[in-house]
Amino acid sequence: MYLKRGCSLLLKAQKKPRIPVFLNGDASSALGRSGEPARGDGTPVVLHESDVARRLRRDPDVSSAFRFFKSVANGGLFRHTRFTYEVMVKRLGREGEIDAVQYLLQQMKLDGIGCGEELFVEVIDSYRRAGLVEQALKMFYRIREFGCEPTVKIYNHLLDALLSDDRFSMISPVYGNMKKDGMEPNVFTYNILIKALCKNGRVDGALKLLKEMSNRGCLPDSVSYTTIVSSLCKVGKVEEGREVARKFGPSLPVYNALIDGFCRERRFKEAFRLFAEMMDENIDPNVVTYTPIISSLSDVGQVELAMAIFSQMSLRGCRPNIHSFTSLMKGLLLKRKIREALDWWDKMISEGFLPNVVSYNTLLRGLSSNGNMKEAVLVTDQMERNGVPPNSTTYSILIDGFAKSGSLAGASEIWNKMMFSGCRPNVVVYTCMVDVLCKNFLFDQAYSLILKMADDNCPPNLVTFNAFIGGLCDGGRIDWAINLLDLMRKYGCSPDTITYNQLINGFLKVGRFTAAIEIAKEMKERGIRMTIMTYNMLFSGYCRQGMLQSALQLLGEMVVRGASPDAYTYSMLTHAYSKQGKFKEAIRLWEASTEAGDWQPDLTAYMHHIWGICNCFGMEEAVTCLQNMINKGISPNIVIWNLLVRNFFNGMGSVGPIHILDDLIGNG
């Protein structure tokens, strides 16, 4: 299973190994602070292993340390041992000097010094830190060239390196190789494999491995259970996670994973119950316990309760972290409490927490969503001054904020700044820019940007196309919008409910009712879900066309498909009946639907209803309806007053109702 023996170009055997340029140096200068090669009386300097190791560790400059390493060997003052090689490899590896590490390995080979377990572990870890995991694997397969035999510890570090780089396909063969070498995996091995399976979405495989551990006499630990419980919670299987947790017993990390899972599902009662259970088990919650509770409560608008939890955390002596502060600010910003959010921002900084890019983006999103774009730009400037470079999320928040406020100039300025900074736009940034261009009716430029996305290997997605189609429909460019469906499918995007709703609305706005019906028909044929908004748009179209029978059929379809009619539906229908002079039918529909509690009429509905009553029954009933409307807290508008007054002077009133009108006007 090992690769064929042989050397890479960097490690090819030579009589004199090539020394990387930065490692060359003068032997005498390398001795520097250690003393001269010989004493004044000519007695040779004797260097001990501990002296050399101390110098290699303490020299603040890695290049200087290596010059010393080389000089004492070249000057014959010291013959390096496995220990001094290990010290030097460790320093070079942590500085990312991989070429130098490779040179030292080859030099050890020439010196006949075998590479021990600890040293090879350092080599693998150096490759991992440098992001050269594949080279670490190649080096491992040549391990015997350096006089070292594979061990469980070396295998574990290699597996961990592969996991850190998400090289899942390489993990299984290495584990298989480990078993062929007759090595028994330990708890660290299993934990790495469990984490790899969970990261790869194979929680079922991780559970099987957990069972295998126990069968082999290797008891799972807190890390094993926490990894699996956390992964189950992340995919919405909190109850399964709780069952797995019961097999292990009380543990802070496992409790934290479960509480986080319940908070993700907004099941706060269960989360608080677990919290109380922790206390009963004498397990003190930490900041990881509190933070998901604070964050989830803030997300659902329960920021006051989140602040109470934050205070409890502080009272219990548990120091918050930057995520705790950021979560609270997010909740306050969602509630539009800008001033309070900024106070917490100041408090976070005063307590020694420097804002990171996530904190800044949270504040920017809150300011932008509340229309405070001037303040948002100032925060971005502060962000850069404080050495926190904006990322693509930062720019997308700003562009989206300017797009919502309709400021093409502001969005364009941020776009140009982003491009100048070298930050590549992602699909969210592109989509925000497409949106703002459409809002300013710059459809040609928006289309060009969509084509550029594909050229930049950042293809437009469904949200991008919906932004463009929505803009075209609002701008009356409905034919262009309908032709975009083919382009969408070319990029692998299938139109959804939003796409079709925008097209139906676009056709209705330009008076093309038949085309709107055809789009709805296509929507049904493709199995796209029709929402109440879809039905109401079609319902409105039928009513305006005077096609009451078709409107009623659509109403029946709505009910059958589980889309309950709302106030707009009933209002449109009563208006349509009244418009055709079918006032009694309109009134019967009103009475039946309101008594059944199907809807609560709004001002527009009352206006249509009063008009129908005036035409059918007269002023007295109309004024009664007006009184009911006012009692329900709905204030009549000028249209309703004009309607009542006009009907009164047309001879439909009597002395009684006019006095009632006087009273109502006086009270209003």
For the cut 90, the answer to whether the pLDDT of residue 571 exceeds it is no
For residue 526, being part of any structural domain is answered with no
pLDDT value of position 110 = 83
* Residue bearing tokens 């904190």: 359
The residue-averaged pLDDT of 48-70 equals: 85
Alpha-carbon gap, residue 462 to 595, rounded angstroms: 42
Q: Does position 34 have pLDDT exceeding 60, yes or no?
A: no
What is the predicted pLDDT for the residue at 210?
86
In the predicted model, what is the mean pLDDT of residues 373-391? Answer: 90
Looking at residue 206, its amino acid is: A
Angle at which helix 638-647 crosses helix 603-616, to 10 degrees, equals 0
Q: In this structure, which long-range contacts are made by residues 574-581, counting pairs with CB atoms below 8 Å and at least 24 apart in sequence?
A: 574/605, 574/608, 574/609, 574/612, 575/543, 575/608, 576/543, 576/544, 576/546, 576/548, 576/551, 577/548, 577/612, 578/608, 578/609, 578/611, 578/612, 578/615, 579/546, 580/546, 580/548, 581/615
* Domain boundary pick from 79, 114, 149: 149
123 within domain boundaries? yes
Residue 528 in any domain: the answer is no
Section 321-333 average pLDDT: 92
Q: How far is CA 300 from CA 264, 267, 295, 306, 493, in A?
A: 11, 11, 9, 10, 31
Indicate the residue among 149, 177, 211 that finishes a domain: 149
pLDDT in tens, 611-661: 777 766 677 777 877 877 788 788 887 877 877 777 776 654 443 343 433
Show the domain range for 64. Answer: 1-149
Q: Rounded mean pLDDT of the chain? A: 82
Instruction: Classify 44 as helix, strand or coil.
Output: strand
Let me know if residue 659 belongs to a domain: yes
Q: Which strand (E) or helix (H) includes residue 433?
A: helix 427-439
**pLDDT tens, residue by residue, 241-298:** 888 888 887 788 888 999 999 999 899 999 999 989 888 888 889 999 999 999 999 9
- Residue bearing the bigger pLDDT, 601 or 3: 601
Which of 77-86, 194-203, 596-605 shows the lowest mean pLDDT across its residues?
A: 596-605
pLDDT (tens digit, 9 = 90+) per residue, 453-508? 988 888 999 999 999 999 999 999 999 999 998 889 888 889 999 999 999 999 99
How far is 611 from 405, CA to CA, in rounded Å?
39
Quick check: 57 pLDDT over 90?
A: no
CATH number at residue 591: 1.25.40.10
The per-residue pLDDT for range 616-630, each reduced to its tens digit, is 667 777 787 787 778
Banded pLDDT at 363 (limits 50, 70, 90): very high
Q: What integer is the mean pLDDT of 400-405?
A: 86
pLDDT at residue number 85:
85
- The CATH number assigned to the domain holding 138 equals 1.25.40
Domain count for the chain, please give it: 2
In a domain, 276, yes or no: no
- Give pLDDT, residue 20: 37
- Please say if the pLDDT value at position 45 is more than 70: no
Q: Residue 43 falls within a domain, yes or no? A: yes
374 within domain boundaries = no
Domain boundary among 134, 149, 164: 149
For the ranges 152-166, 309-323, 644-658, the lowest mean pLDDT is seen at: 644-658
pLDDT in tens, 447-465: 999 999 988 888 999 999 9
Let me know if residue 127 belongs to a domain: yes
Tokens of 533: 């908004």
pTM of the model: 0.66
Distance CA 396, CA 431 (A): 9
